[in-house]
Amino acid sequence: MRAARESDRTGRSVQVRCEDGDIAIIAAAMGGSARLGSLLFKRPRPFSAPEVRTFERSAIVTGIVLLSIERIAQSAHRSATDAISALARGTSDPFAGGALRQQPGASAVTWPLTMMLVDVGELPFMQVAAPARAALTGRDTIFAEFNGDLVVATSSERPLDVAERLSEELQAATQRRLTIVVSEPVAAIGEAPLRFESLRRCVGLVRGLGQQGRIVSESAMAMYATIFAGGPSDAVGAFVRATTGPIIEHDLRKGSQLARTLAAYLDSGRSLSKAAEQLGIHVNTMRQRLDLVGQLSAACLDPVHGLETHLALRLHLMKAGG
């Protein structure tokens, strides 16, 4: 390290004798005024003056190459940041005319695409940027920070696989699983801002359900997220308790399956036979469970309250992982 700093300071190579007796030559690879790396070579015999000059020229060339790579990476990052911002705001089509493809190191993202929102919580973006870069290596995917969120856009045909890779890399780097919400396909720039806002609402709902750390699809969450958008943090829990509290409490105390039974009944359009078949139980067992539901909460079987009961059960089962 001392030899590298000396080479950095003087702009020349430095030779040092190693513990094994070999001679090492080190030269800083400079990019402008910054050291981008160092070249090191070692061998038993000393280096001649011509060899030193050749080695130093190699360090200069290496610095030029590294600087070019760094500038390409910075350009690609700026392009990705601008593209993600345009998608979230809907200001302009960042992929129109293949403009992004014409830049060195740029992406090949095209319409239709899938957007993803990663809830990084209090983590600084720099902590998640490196694992995101490791996971999102394809040219069909870009990512950037937008208003504190990690936003991904991909035209991969397998977006859930992309989300899985990203989740694994983020978990390895941060020692926690982060929530990733995956959008429905976005066909054009006009849809993108609405999709982004939907993803943000879904992240809020996942927090409200206490289900952070999952990969979830927008399609499964969007309706519920829209209903509870802008409410207090415990709005979902309060709604579920107020609507189906006696049933859920009975399940917790007795280990019964009343909530799942009632949900299946409502899912099947209040058909006893279809719900029983779905649950794999006898129709008489189904009828007995619903009788108990009626005793605990008559409102839960009242068609007048069917919509809110069904919604509360879906939210409860979603939180329970079922």
Q: Are residues 206 and 162 in the same domain?
A: yes
Q: Are residues 161 and 193 in the same domain?
A: yes
Residues whose CB is less than 8 angstroms from the CB of residue 295 and which lie 6 or more positions away in sequence, other chains included: none
Residues whose CB is less than 8 angstroms from the CB of residue 173 and which lie 6 or more positions away in sequence, other chains included: 127, 128, 130, 131
Q: Are residues 133 and 49 in the same domain?
A: no
Q: Which helix (H) or strand (E) holds 277?
A: helix 272-279
Q: Are residues 127 and 222 in the same domain?
A: yes
Q: Are residues 118 and 211 in the same domain?
A: yes
Encode pLDDT of 7-17 as tens digits.
Answer: 888 989 999 99
Q: Assess if residue 88 is contained within a domain.
A: no
Encode pLDDT of 179-204 as tens digits.
Answer: 999 999 999 999 999 999 999 999 98
Predicted confidence (pLDDT) at residue 126 exceeds the cutoff of 80? yes
Of 228, 249, 275, which one is at a domain's C-terminal end?
228
Taking the C-alpha atoms of residue 200 and residue 183, their distance in angstroms, rounded to an integer, is 11
Q: Assess if residue 304 is contained within a domain.
A: yes
Q: Which domain holds residue 289?
A: 235-319
Q: Are residues 170 and 249 in the same domain?
A: no
Return the CATH number at 170. Answer: 3.30.70.270
Higher pLDDT, 121 or 230: 121
Find where tokens 């209040």 sit: 270
Quick one: average pLDDT of 267-272? 93
Return the CATH number at 30. Answer: 3.30.450.40
Q: Assess if residue 94 is contained within a domain.
A: no
> Any bridge partners for residue 246, and if so which?
none
Predicted confidence (pLDDT) at residue 165 exceeds the cutoff of 80? yes
User: Can you give the pLDDT at residue 154?
Assistant: 96
Give the three-class secondary structure for 115.
strand
Of 203, 228, 253, which one is at a domain's C-terminal end?
228
Q: Are residues 217 and 239 in the same domain?
A: no
Q: Are residues 217 and 245 in the same domain?
A: no
Quick one: average pLDDT of 296-316? 90
Q: Are residues 190 and 133 in the same domain?
A: yes
Q: Are residues 127 and 196 in the same domain?
A: yes
User: Can you give the pLDDT at residue 322?
Assistant: 60
Q: Are residues 224 and 242 in the same domain?
A: no
Taking the C-alpha atoms of residue 258 and residue 301, their distance in angstroms, rounded to an integer, is 12
Residues whose CB is less than 8 angstroms from the CB of residue 308 and which lie 6 or more positions away in sequence, other chains included: 239, 243
Q: Assess if residue 22 is contained within a domain.
A: yes
Of 212, 228, 244, which one is at a domain's C-terminal end?
228
Are the C-beta atoms of 145 and 126 separated by less than 8 Å?
no
Instruction: Give me the number of domains the chain comprises.
Output: 3
Burial class (CB in 10 A: 0-12, 13-18, 19+), 175: exposed
Count CB-CB contacts under 10 A for residue 212.
Answer: 14
Taking the C-alpha atoms of residue 140 and residue 155, their distance in angstroms, rounded to an integer, is 5
Q: Of 213, 217, 238, 216, which is closest to residue 228 (Cα–Cα)?
A: 238
Encode pLDDT of 94-111 as tens digits.
Answer: 888 665 555 555 568 999
User: Can you give the pLDDT at residue 164?
Assistant: 97
User: Can you give the pLDDT at residue 141?
Assistant: 95
Q: Assess if residue 51 is contained within a domain.
A: yes
Q: How far apart are the first and last CA of the chain?
A: 56
Q: Assess if residue 283 is contained within a domain.
A: yes
Q: Assess if residue 90 is contained within a domain.
A: no
Q: Assess if residue 138 is contained within a domain.
A: yes
Predicted confidence (pLDDT) at residue 34 exceeds the cutoff of 80? no
Taking the C-alpha atoms of residue 92 and residue 96, their distance in angstroms, rounded to an integer, is 9
Q: Are residues 248 and 296 in the same domain?
A: yes
